[in-house]
Amino acid sequence: MALPLIGPAADLEAFVNAKFLFDYISTIMPQDAPGSLSKQDYLDVLSFLLVENGIVPGERVMTPNQIENFPLQK
């Protein structure tokens, strides 16, 4: 069981900025194979989560430099 990652009940703001969310995802997720994906895969899934939650405009892929202090408030 986990909080939804997309939609009104998602709580990505709790991660403060995209760097903290990236660090969480890229070290702890997927929970059954933590840290098993490539850095680009984690950037892609982070970008997907930010676009789907309306935090960044569509089709925007985040680069490592851009996520550094990127606030997660909608």
Residues of this chain that interact with ligand HEM (CB under 6 A) are 2-3, 5, 11, 14, 24-25, 29-32, 45
Nearer to ligand HEM, 5 or 16 (CB): 5
DSSP per position, the chain: ----SSSTT--GGGG-BHHHHHHHHHHH-STTSTT-S-HHHHHHHHHHHHHHTTSS-TTPPPPHHHHTT-B---
Please state the closest distance from residue 58 (CB atom) to ligand HEM, in A.
18
- Smallest separation (angstroms) from ligand HEM to the CB of 56: 15
